[in-house]
Structure 1
């Protein structure tokens, strides 16, 4: 029997919405810092365009 290694790839995508961009930026920074502390690969945050109603 051959030893096989299965690489599991888990992704988390988080979309945040807020009326105050300062609170939004602080929340995104906390999430990124926590993810980096656990050794996760982080790409982002990616700002999306605002929606006009």
Structure 2
């Protein structure tokens, strides 16, 4: 059974910690691991007027970056799946699991 994990976060340091936890769990259960593969970072830029009524020339730009990683797990067992279910993820981490 092949499992594909896609991890998304706004903070790359937090995401790297979660990737390290997942990699250590998978290696302890003797499953094959590919990754974490860094996917392209998505940048979303918002433009806001500084003044509520006038001065359209005065603007501020805000940016949100979404970081992504991809991890493939091959030859997984029930022990691997159970240990991944028990993993506590911090706030700000989005984990998408696909069984292929």
Q: TM-score, normalised by structure 2?
A: 0.42
- Specify which structure has the higher proportion of helix: 1
* RMSD (CA atoms): 0.7
Match status 1:11 vs 2:25: no
- What is the CA-CA distance between 1:52 and the residue it aligns to? 2.8
Question: Equivalent residue for 1:5?
Answer: none
- Structure 1 runs of 4+ with >2 Å offset: none
Q: Any gaps of 5 or more consecutive residues in structure 2?
A: 45-100
- Specify which structure has the higher proportion of strand: 2
Question: Equivalent residue for 2:20?
Answer: 29
Q: Any gaps of 5 or more consecutive residues in structure 1?
A: 1-9
Q: Which of structures 1 and 2 has the larger relative contact order (alpha carbons within 8 angstroms, sep 6+)?
A: 2
2:32 counterpart SS class: coil
